Amino acid sequence: MHVFSLLEAIRKWCMERVGARFDMAIDMEDGQLTERKRLSTRRCGCGKWQISGIPCKHALRVIYDQSLNPIDFVSPFFKSAAYKLTYADHIHPKSDPTQWPNFSLPTIQPPVIKRQVGRPAKKRKRGPNEPRKGKRNRNVKCGKCREFGHN
């Protein structure tokens, strides 16, 4: 088998795998996709395209193989028209609390603090990852032999 025909066979095999993921029928004679079922519904077997709205690598492979523009398959929420529409209206701030709308909601009060029984702790409780506070000098040194570990 010549190198070119070997590479062509590998390409067709890869396209079969990608096409199977998209549930598309592949014509083996010319390698063209005969059905664009999953591209029109914007779905993929991995589920990333449905979740993010941006085509996954499987979808991009089919889109590039058909010489289509991948930007056409991106969700409209990521395009500049949606961005401009989102920030088109202005929010005018109210300069004074007297201009705020009046709502008939009850005011929220802080919880009642109940003092616990007993004497309060002298030291604060340390966290589980916080080092314990020990003696000032952890290394005990002997006065006679000048070695650490005993006195």
pLDDT of residue 89 exceeding 80? yes
- 67 within a domain of the structure (yes/no): yes
What whole-number distance in Å separates Cα of residue 97 and Cα of residue 71?
47
Once rounded to an integer, what is the mean pLDDT over residues 83-104? 84
Q: What is the predicted pLDDT for the residue at 30?
A: 41
- What residues make up the domain containing 44? 3-83
Q: What is the predicted pLDDT for the residue at 17?
A: 66
Count of the separate structural domains present in the chain: 1
Q: What is the predicted pLDDT for the residue at 86?
A: 85
Containing H/E element for 9? Answer: helix 3-21
Query: 137 pLDDT band (50/70/90 cuts)?
Result: low
Amino acid residing at 68? L
Rounded to 10 degrees, what is the CA torsion of 105, 106, 108, 112? Answer: -160
Once rounded to an integer, what is the mean pLDDT over residues 39-66? 83
Q: What is the predicted pLDDT for the residue at 1?
A: 59
